[in-house]
Structure 1
Amino acid sequence: MTRALTFALAALAALLPALPAAAQQDARADGKAFAEELRGEAQQAAQVQPDSNTLPHYDRNAVRGLETLADDPDRIERGAAAATTTHQGYRAIKDSLANRARFDPQDIDAVITRSRAINQTPLDYTSGMAIGGGQGTCVPLPPGSGSAGTYTATCNTGTRIDQSAGQCSVPLVASVSQRPQYHYLCNRFGDINGSGEPECPGFNGYSCRVTWHRDTCLRWGTSGGRRWCTEPGDPISELTCDEQVPGQTPYQVTTATTVTSAPDESQCAGLADNGDCTLDAEICTDADPQTRKIDGVPVTRPCWEWQRSFTCTSREAATDCADIESQNACRFIREECLTDETPCETWERIYECPLPQTDTATQYVCDGDLYCIDGSCETIERTANDEFKDAAVALHAMDEARGQFDPETLTLFRGTRNTCSSKVFGVLNCCKGKGFPLIPGISLLVALGCDREEVLLHQRDAQGLCAYVGTYCSDRFLGVCLTKRKAYCCFESKLSRILQEQGRRQLPKPWDKPKEEQCAGFTLDEFARLDLSQMDFSEVYAEFTEAARLPDELETSILIQQKIEEYYARTDR
C-alpha cells in the first residue's frame, strides 16, 4: 500500500508545475482523497483476523499435503515404490538389468593362458637341439591329464512372483450442514381435559422424535406434609420433526447443525481394488490438532488422516535357462518339479556341462635319452607309458579306503551333508560351485546375503569335492517356489567323490531324496562289489602325474659338449 501511495503522489507532483492554480488545487484534493481511501483499506485489512479461506488461489488441502511431505520426506519414496507395481518403464529397466550380458573372468583368462605359458618357457615349445647342433626330433606324449570333468548346472522355469510394497493416504473429510427443526406439543391420550393439544399418534409417519415429556396435574393435595397430585392431567410431549407436519402448527422453529465426516478412499482405490494386494497395516499420521473449525463449527475427531501399507504380488511366466541352453556343450538330463504340486508352478531343469579345459597343448619328449661312455653318446628311444596314471589312482584309492574307514558304522568314504539356498529367478546365487569362478573374499559373499557355510560349500564344490544330490523348495507362496535349497554330499578328496558317484551307479544305490540324504558311506560288502577298472578317473589323473615338460635341449647339448671336451683334455695329458 505504501509503495502505491508514494508512486501516486510522485506522479501528481510531476504534473503540478504544468497545471494552472485551480487545476493544481483539484489535483491535490483528488490525491488526498485517493490517499485517504487507500489508508482506510490498509487499516481495515490490519484489523481483520487472517483467514486462509479468503486468500486467493489458496488450497488448504494442497498445503497440508506439502506439510505432511515435509514432516515425512520418505513418503515420496514410498509413493514411488507403490507406483512401480504398474509402471512399464520400471519393469523394463528391472528386466534389462536382470538379463544383461555377463562375461566370466575365467573365460577371459582362458584366452590368454596359452600365450602366457609360451612367454614364460618358450623353449618348452620348440623341438630342441640335437647333440651335433642340428635340429632335433620330438616324440609326442599321449594325454596325461585326461578330460577336465563335468559339473551339474541347474536353472528354473515356471511362474515368478514379484512382491512390492505400496502405501497410500486416507484423509478424513468433514462437512457441516444446517436444516430447520419443527417443534410440536401433543397429548398422548387426546384432548380429554381440554388441554388443546393434538394427539401424539397423529404425528406417526413423519420424521419426528420425542425430545421431552411432561405429566400435568389438575389438582394437588398434601399428606404427611408432602405434596402429591390427586387428579393427574393429560401427559404432554414435545416432538421435534425434521419436516413440517401438514395440518399442525409448530410452536417453535429452530435450526439444527449437523456434522458429517467420512474417509476419502480415492488415493487407496487402486491398491484396495487390486486382488493381488493385501493390507498390512493402517496407522494414524495426523492426530494433532484433534479439533478443527469446519465452516465456523468446531469439529473434534481422534484422527484426521491414516496411512495404509499394502503388499502386492504379481505372477508372470519366467525362465533363467537362456545362458545354459545357449551353450551347445551342456546336455539336458531331466526336469523336476520343486513344489510337488499339480499343476506344477516351478520347475528345476538339470544339465550336465563339461568343465573348461585348462591345458590342451600337445606335450613332447625331444631327442630321447642320452647315454654317454668315454664321450661316445647314444640316443635311446623310449615310448611313453600311459598305464602309470591308472596304477597311481588304484593305489591311492586303496590308501584312502584305509584312511576313511569308519569302525563304528563299518562303512567307507562317508560324506557330510551340506546345503545352500538361492532365490528362484533371483540375482544372488550362493550355490554356483564347480564350473563357476570363486569370488575372492568370503566377507563379500556374506555381505551380499550368503552365510559362511554356503561360501565354504561353494569353495569345496569348486574344488571338485562335492557331489550334487538334488534340489528342494524351502519357501513357497501361493504354490510358487520362492527359495530353493540344493543338497550336496562333500568328501575328503576328489577321488572319494568319484568313487561315491560312480560306485552308486554300479551297485545300484541312488541318492536319497534331497531333503533326506545323509551321505552314508559304502558297507564293506558294497565296496567289495565295486569294479574300479570300470570307473573313469580321468578327472584326477593330473593329481598324480606331473604334466611332462620339454627339456631345454640347447642347455643339455652345451653341457654334453663341455663334458666331451673335458674328457679329451684329460686324455691328451
Structure 2
Amino acid sequence: MTGRTLANLLAVFVALTSAASIHAQTRDEARADGKDFATELRGEARDAATTNPDAARVPNFDPQATRDLQDLARDPDQIEARARSVATTSTPMRTIRDSMANRARFEPNEIEDVIARSRAINETPLDYTSGMAISGSQGSCVPLPPGSGTAGTYTATCNTGTRIDQSLGQCTVPLVATVNQQPQYHYLCNRFGDFNGSGEPECAGFDGYSCRVTGRRDTCLQWSSSGGRPWCSEPGDPITELTCDDQVPGQTPYMVTAATTVTTIPDESQCTGLADNSDCTLDADICTDADPQTRVIDGVSVTRPCWEWQRSYTCIEREAATDCSDIESQGTCRFVREECLTDEAPCETWERIYECPLPGTDNSTQYVCDGDVYCIDGSCETIERAANDEFKDAVTALHAMDEARGQFDPETLTLFRGTRNTCSSKVFGVLNCCKGKGFPLIPGISLLVALGCSREEVLLHERDAQGLCAYVGTYCSDKFLGVCLTKKKVYCCFESKLSRILQEQGRRQLPKSWDKPKEEQCEGFTLDEFARLDLSQMDFSEVYAEFTEAARLPDELETSILIQQKIEDYYARSGQ
C-alpha cells in the first residue's frame, strides 16, 4: 500500500468521524460513498500495476546506498577496511570501547578470598547462628571470616639498571730541584786559523760540538809606538772565545772551569694511577706550597713560584644495581609497568612502578547476629540489616558539587585545578624524600631538612600521605654518561581528597591522561569536561570509608547516627 493510499484512508476516516458527529448518514448515502472510494482505489491499483517500476516512487529509497552494497558485493575486502574507518567515529563503537576500558576488573586472589570466605561459612554454619531461639529473639553476634577489602592503594617505585659510583681522589706533586756541577772547557779560535800567525786553530774545527761563543778578543798585526803610547796601526781578525760542555778532541783548552746548573722536575709518581685511569677526570690543580719562593739547594739559591701542587680527580665506576628487593619481598605489591628514566638508547636506568595496598589498614569486622536469623520448622531466613548505601553516595555527590562551586577558577573557567609539586631523590641513594603515601612520616620537619630534604619536599610528603596528591610520573633531572643520577617525582596536589579522586577517575572517563611529567601543570576540568563526567560510575569508597564503619550493626538507627557523627568529624578534621 502506497503512502498516498494510507493518507487517503486516514482522511476518509477523519471525514466519516467528523460527519457522524454533525448528522447521521443514511444507508444509501453511505453505500454511495463506499462505492466511490472503492472505485478510486481500483483506479490507483490499476495504475500501479501497469506503470514501470521507478525507484523514485519507493519511499526512503537511496540509490547511492544500493550502489555501495553492489560495490561491497563485488569486492568483499572493502568491508573490513570500511568498518575500521567508520569505527573511529562511530558512537556505538566508542561506547563499546569505553565500556570495555572502564568495566570492573577483579584480581584472581580477590575472587579466591571471597570463595574461601563463603566455604568457611558453609562448612560450619552453626558457628554463625549459635544461640538462636525459635522465637527469633535478639541474641549474640558472631564475627564473619575476614574479607579481602582494602582502604586504598599507593604507588611505590624502585630503580634498576646501571649505577655510577663517584669517588674523589687526591694526590700531591712536589717539585724536585737538582743542583749539578758541570766542567766547562774554554777555547780560542780564529775564523781563518793560523793564517795571520795568531797561533789559534780555525773555528770551523769546533762545529758539531756543544760549544757556544762567550766572547771576542781583538788582535793586532802591527803596533806603532809613535806619539808615546803604543797603538795598533794594523788591526787583525778578532779571536773568538768558545765555551764547550765537553772537551773537543785534538784541541787544548786554555782554561777549565765548573758551571752550576739547577734542574727542577715535578714528581708525578703519586698521581700516576689516577692520571692513567680513563674513568677519572682532573678537577683542580692547586699550588699548596709557595712560601718561601727562594730556597737553598746544595748551597745554591733556587727561586720558583710554586714548590708543590695538589691535584683533585673525580672517578666513576659502573655496576649493575637494583633497589627493588624491599618492594618485591612484601608480596602484596602488584607490578604495573617499567619506564626508562632517560632518553638514551640503550636505556641505562629504569624505574619499576608497583601498586601496593596501604599498610596498617584495619578493616572493621562484619557480624551475623542471632536477632537477624528467624527459624520456623527448621527453615531459617536471615534478615539483612545493612545501612543504606545510597546515603553515603548522596552525601559524596553533594559535597562534590559544593567543592565544584568553591574551586571554580573564573580566569581559566576550569574546576578542581591542582598545584604542581616535585621532589628529588638520588637513584640508588639512601635518602629518599619522595616516599609519601604508604610510608610513615618522620616526626619533625627540621630532622628531614637536616638530612637533606627541602621543606617543600617534606610538605609534599605530608600532603601525599593525607591522600591529597595524585602521582603523575618521574623524569631524570641529572644524568652522567647516559646514566640517571637524580630523578624527580611529579605530583598534582588538590585541596581535598575528593578533588583528587574526581581528577584521577574523571581523567579516565574522558579520557584525559596526565601530560609528560616534565610538562604537567595540573590543569583543572573545563566546564564541558566536567559536564561529561558520570559521578555515579566513580568509586568514592576511599572517602566515605571514613564516614561509615564496615560492620553491619543490627540497629539501623544507631548506624545512621554513627554515620552522621563521622561525617561531622571528617569535615572538622579537614577544615571543610
Look up the SS of the partner of 2:163 in the other structure. strand
Which of 355, 358, 383 aligns to 2:385? It is 383
Q: CA deviation at 1:368?
A: 5.8
> Which residues in structure 2 correspond to 1:284-323 (within 5 Å)?
284-323=287-326
Q: CA deviation at 1:275?
A: 1.5
Runs of at least 4 residues off by over 6 Å = 127-130, 139-145, 549-552
CA contact (8 A) 1:156 1:347 kept: yes
Partner of 1:421: 424
Give distance in 1, aligned partners of 2:496 and 2:148: 17
> Which residues in structure 2 correspond to 1:268-287 (within 5 Å)?
268-287=271-290
Q: Does 1:498 align with 2:501?
A: yes
Partner of 1:200: 203
Give distance in 1, aligned partners of 2:480 and 2:224: 84
CA deviations 1:298-343 (Å, max 9, x no partner) are: 4333332222222222222211111112222212222111121112
Q: CA deviation at 1:520?
A: 0.9
Look up the SS of the partner of 1:513 in the other structure. coil
Q: CA deviation at 1:382?
A: 6.4
Q: CA deviation at 1:367?
A: 6.8
The amino acid that maps onto 2:267 is D
CA contact (8 A) 2:151 2:545 kept: no
> Which residues in structure 2 correspond to 1:111-126 (within 5 Å)?
none
Q: CA deviation at 1:427?
A: 0.9
Unaligned runs of 5+ in 1: 1-126, 370-379, 553-573
Partner of 1:215: 218
> Which residues in structure 2 correspond to 1:2-81 (within 5 Å)?
none
Give distance in 1, aligned partners of 2:388 and 2:143: 12
CA deviations 1:341-386 (Å, max 9, x no partner) are: 11222111111111125222413485769xxxxxxxxxx9761135
Give distance in 2, aligned partners of 1:454 and 1:190: 93
TM-score (norm. length: structure 1): 0.66
Partner of 1:164: 167
Look up the SS of the partner of 1:399 in the other structure. helix
CA contact (8 A) 1:138 1:366 kept: yes
Q: CA deviation at 1:396?
A: 2.3
CA contact (8 A) 1:415 1:490 kept: yes
The structure-2 alpha-carbon separation of the partners of 1:228 and 1:419, relative to structure 1 and needing over 3 Å to count, comes to farther
CA contact (8 A) 1:145 1:542 kept: no
Give distance in 1, aligned partners of 2:268 and 2:218: 50
CA contact (8 A) 1:421 1:483 kept: yes
The amino acid that maps onto 1:507 is L
Partner of 1:255: 258
Give distance in 2, aligned partners of 1:528 and 1:317: 50
Which of 360, 365, 377 aligns to 2:363? It is 360
Give distance in 2, aligned partners of 1:360 and 1:442: 31
TM-score (norm. length: structure 2): 0.65
When the two chains are superposed, the root-mean-square deviation of aligned CA atoms in Å is 3.4
Q: Does 1:432 align with 2:435?
A: yes
CA deviations 1:207-265 (Å, max 9, x no partner) are: 1111112333445799xxxx997633111111111222122111111222222221211
Q: Does 1:476 align with 2:479?
A: yes
Give distance in 2, aligned partners of 1:488 and 1:239: 85
Which of 329, 334, 337 aligns to 2:337? It is 334
> Which residues in structure 2 correspond to 1:80-95 (within 5 Å)?
none
Q: CA deviation at 1:393?
A: 2.2
The amino acid that maps onto 1:466 is C
Look up the SS of the partner of 2:545 in the other structure. helix
Partner of 1:151: 154
Partner of 1:17: none
Q: CA deviation at 1:403?
A: 2.3
CA contact (8 A) 2:274 2:280 kept: yes
Which of 454, 466, 470 aligns to 1:467? It is 470
Moved more, 464-473 or 279-288: 279-288
Give distance in 1, aligned partners of 2:399 and 2:449: 36
The structure-2 alpha-carbon separation of the partners of 1:244 and 1:381, relative to structure 1 and needing over 3 Å to count, comes to closer
The amino acid that maps onto 1:341 is E
Bigger RCO of structures 1 and 2 (CA < 8 A, at least 6 apart): 1
Partner of 1:117: none
The structure-2 alpha-carbon separation of the partners of 1:516 and 1:390, relative to structure 1 and needing over 3 Å to count, comes to same
The amino acid that maps onto 2:417 is R
Give distance in 2, aligned partners of 1:530 and 1:206: 100
Look up the SS of the partner of 2:441 in the other structure. coil
The structure-2 alpha-carbon separation of the partners of 1:231 and 1:430, relative to structure 1 and needing over 3 Å to count, comes to same
Look up the SS of the partner of 1:436 in the other structure. coil
Q: CA deviation at 1:477?
A: 1.6
Q: Does 1:409 align with 2:412?
A: yes
Give distance in 1, aligned partners of 2:304 and 2:290: 8
The structure-2 alpha-carbon separation of the partners of 1:368 and 1:184, relative to structure 1 and needing over 3 Å to count, comes to same
Moved more, 466-475 or 140-149: 140-149
Give distance in 1, aligned partners of 2:291 and 2:458: 52
Identity over aligned pairs, percent: 86
CA deviations 1:65-109 (Å, max 9, x no partner) are: xxxxxxxxxxxxxxxxxxxxxxxxxxxxxxxxxxxxxxxxxxxxx
The amino acid that maps onto 2:163 is R
Unaligned runs of 5+ in 2: 1-129, 373-381, 556-576
The amino acid that maps onto 1:468 is Y
Q: CA deviation at 1:446?
A: 1.1
Look up the SS of the partner of 2:347 in the other structure. coil
The structure-2 alpha-carbon separation of the partners of 1:270 and 1:363, relative to structure 1 and needing over 3 Å to count, comes to same
The amino acid that maps onto 2:278 is G
The amino acid that maps onto 1:421 is S
Partner of 1:266: 269
- Equivalent residue pairs, number: 413
Q: CA deviation at 1:549?
A: 9.1
Give distance in 2, aligned partners of 1:396 and 1:527: 15
When Rg is computed on C-alpha atoms for both structures, the one with the higher figure is: 2
The structure-2 alpha-carbon separation of the partners of 1:389 and 1:365, relative to structure 1 and needing over 3 Å to count, comes to farther
CA contact (8 A) 1:144 1:545 kept: no
Partner of 2:238: 235
The amino acid that maps onto 1:147 is T
Q: CA deviation at 1:454?
A: 0.8
The structure-2 alpha-carbon separation of the partners of 1:401 and 1:146, relative to structure 1 and needing over 3 Å to count, comes to farther
